[in-house]
Structure 1
């Protein structure tokens, strides 16, 4: 079963490593991986953890099951605040090491991954992104012009997450919903998951009408804040509406626009009058939404070249620098290049 929530695993001390590897193995075993592929996932995690020990004095691993083109997989993100890598291309070569070891780490991770990407900056740290699938993905001659990625992480110490993200894609529209149940823990999770169920049922292409539908569906919960963004593939236009403190920004070569949400709590009190915010499409446009588990003054543009990377890596960089660690955290990104 694919769950949009990342499992967050501490890798700051050696004593955590056995637990970390076991947790990843348990998650991977629940998917359709062969014994050979499970062993390769174990190697990738071991190499990531080894790099954290040798080069960064610890860090953390984020992991979740994914599915692409009908094939199950696992996404593993390794984050550290170490010194960064000065020459990535050279360090990817087998036998190259900065700590007098065999130097097989990054090269092994890349070889065993279906997709691998690294972002590093001197004095900032390093993020590794690996996606491993149960089998090879079907080959497509045309690249997918729509990229959607999310990072949803519970508050430290919590087993359930009050934030969540959902996508609905049809021939006419791409519909995105990021919700944050009030507080955190079980009751917040019930609120946001009830909202997602309602979002998936609502057939309207108006974010305002979606929010009203969700509002009426979650009145027996503690409530939530949320933003809905709907892109019309026919009209090449975004419609966006939010209630509460979900931070939403639109990036393109021409704009960096922050969108304002309405005051209120979905399920308790929302404005009687709301309007969809209309934004015309610009090729390569990127929309990012963050819950208040991410500091309000977040900014990814300060990181050199970050926008050229996979959106999961972009989300991880934002999480690394701006998570509060006092609440559930969620980031959703969508880039369309029609």
Structure 2
């Protein structure tokens, strides 16, 4: 996997009942982040075309506008989700002059040309997910390529803020010593003098190791939930590779501003913390959430070869999937920020072509690996949006994050 950027992601605005309102919001957003007059006009044109298609063809369609940024540049990502009727032949639909409603059929072809990245996944009778990404031109090299981690969050109907959140960061040890911890005892605070990892997309597209992982004793986990497939191991002495990717899914208790305060406190602790292992980071998040409502939190570390270390507290669903299998990762009862017993770290393996999925209880657990099989070759953000469409509920905040790469 080559180098490419990881961007901080800000969920900006959802447009469901009035997708045409996304046009004006896109114009304001492009101006606010300094996209440039010409590039902002192209963004607005693309959003107009996508909103028009949504009004003509879609069932229960939504548009998400959000900002992607790193230290030097900001861009806009547009995600469009609908419930049907889907497209039987996506390549044909992207060609100019193709229309199912008697128009000129210029919409998707125009968006393909205007966007720096445009991707579509569609299933007849199920619906369509589209992703379009816009950077200032010329496109900076720091944002070339596709991250291996991306997610999406949506507030409960009627709320402006979301109590669920996801975040990822690259993690690189600068010293030669591997930090050890007794995962069952929940100890280990990491090296406190290490500066926080910089959000760098290259770390997210290549979780490469500077050397081999140290050997650590493991024993099979005897407490997997019914229906779990594959093999998971409870790690007694955790060691990590020199480079990895840390990913968190967080569900603040309840919904609304108080839940959002808890999840944002968790995000800040995750972003600025010094822990290397999931349990170390969980301890940092636990301290940061004292005084808040608390949250359910799951933290995973992904390393070269598809190795996953996982630590979860509360009702976060996590699974390693392939086109035909799903292995659930075990979380333990508790409320981060209030009560945690022993932290346990489990090891699993992402198969070639597979992915790690983590989501809040704003999505039903009753999806199957086959529901995602046809989308696994698409970017993580598009897979996440498709799962939100499939399993999300509007009776709660919802968030899902996907990690996948060339394991």
TM-score norm. by structure 1 comes to: 0.89
1:134 alignment partner in structure 2: 136
Contact 2:316 2:358 in 1 (8 A): yes
| 1:275 matched residue in structure 2 | 344
| Structure 1 residues 35 and 300, CA gap change in structure 2 (3 angstroms) | farther
Deviates most, 247-256 or 123-132: 247-256
Aligned residue number for residue 181 of structure 1: 252
Deviation, structure 1 residue 255: 5.0
State the secondary structure of the residue aligned to 2:393: coil
Q: Is the CA contact 1:31–1:73 (under 8 Å) kept in the aligned structure 2?
A: yes
Alignment equivalent of 1:244, drawn from 270, 293, 314: 314
Q: Select the residue among 363, 386, 395 that pairs with 1:294.
A: 363
Relative to structure 1, is the Cα distance of residues 201 and 88 closer, same or farther in structure 2, using a 3 angstrom cutoff? closer
CA contact (8 A) 2:166 2:249 kept: yes
Alpha-carbon displacement from aligned partner over 1:238-293 (angstroms, at most 9, x marks no partner): 2110000100001247852101101010011111x222101245444411100011
Change (3 A) 1:114 1:162: same
What displacement does 1:313 show?
Answer: 1.2
The residue aligned with 2:106 is 104
Distance 1:69 1:115, change over 3 A: farther
Match of 2:265 among 194, 197, 203: 194
In structure 1, C-alpha distance between the alignment counterparts of 2:45 and 2:286, rounded to whole Å: 46
- Say if 2:362 and 2:398, in contact at 8 Å, map to a contact too: yes
Compute the RMSD of aligned alpha carbons. 2.4
Partner of 1:59: 61
- Report the equivalent of 2:301: 230
Change (3 A) 1:131 1:264: same
Measured against aligned partners, the alpha-carbon deviations of 1:217-244 in whole angstroms (never above 9, x if no partner) come to 21111111100101244x8632110000
Counterpart CA distance in 2 for 1:169 and 1:108 is 35
* Cross-structure match for 2:374: 305
Query: What is the aligned residue count?
Result: 330
Match of 1:221 among 284, 292, 295: 292
Give the conservation status (yes or no) of the 8 Å contact 1:69–1:137: no
Question: Do 2:322 and 2:373's aligned partners in 1 also have CA atoms closer than 8 Å?
Answer: no
Contact kept, 8 Å, 1:37 with 1:134, in 2: the verdict is yes
Cα separation, 2, equivalents of 1:23 and 1:51: 18
How many Å apart are 1:5 and its aligned residue? 2.3
Say which is worse superposed, 237-246 or 210-219, in terms of deviation: 210-219
The verdict on how the C-alpha distance between 1:70 and 1:270 changes in structure 2, with shifts beyond 3 A counting, is same
SS at match of 1:52: helix
- Cα distance in 2, alignment partners of residues 64 and 225 from structure 1: 25
**1: CA distance, partners of 2:394 / 2:19:** 21
Q: Which residue of 1 aligns with 2:397?
A: 328
Structure 1: 4+ residue segments shifted above 6 A: none
Counterpart contact for 2:372–2:387, Cα < 8 Å: no
CA contact (8 A) 2:85 2:125 kept: yes
> Is the 8 Å Cα contact of residues 115 and 130 (structure 1) preserved in structure 2?
yes
Aligned-residue offset at 1:160? 1.5
Give the 3-state SS of the residue equivalent to 1:331 in structure 2: strand
**SS in structure 1 at match of 2:404:** strand
Give the Cα separation in 2 of the matches to 1:126 and 1:148. Answer: 21
Compared CA separation, residues 92 and 191, structure 1 to 2 (3 A): same
Structure 1 residues 317 and 281, CA, compared in 2 at 3 Å: closer, same or farther? closer
- Residue 195 of structure 1 aligns to a residue whose secondary structure is helix
Provide the residue aligned with 1:264 in structure 2: 334
Unmatched runs of 5 consecutive residues or more in structure 1: none
- Contact 2:67 2:76 (8 Å CA) reproduced: yes
**Higher mean displacement: 305-314 or 277-286:** 277-286
Structure 2 length normalisation: TM-score? 0.75
Unaligned runs of 5+ in 2: 1-6, 173-242
Does the Cα contact within 8 Å between 2:285 and 2:337 map onto a contact in 1?
yes
Alignment partner of 1:8 is 2:14: yes
Contact kept, 8 Å, 2:323 with 2:372, in 1: the verdict is no
**In the alignment, which of 298, 303, 317 is matched to residue 386 of structure 2?**
317
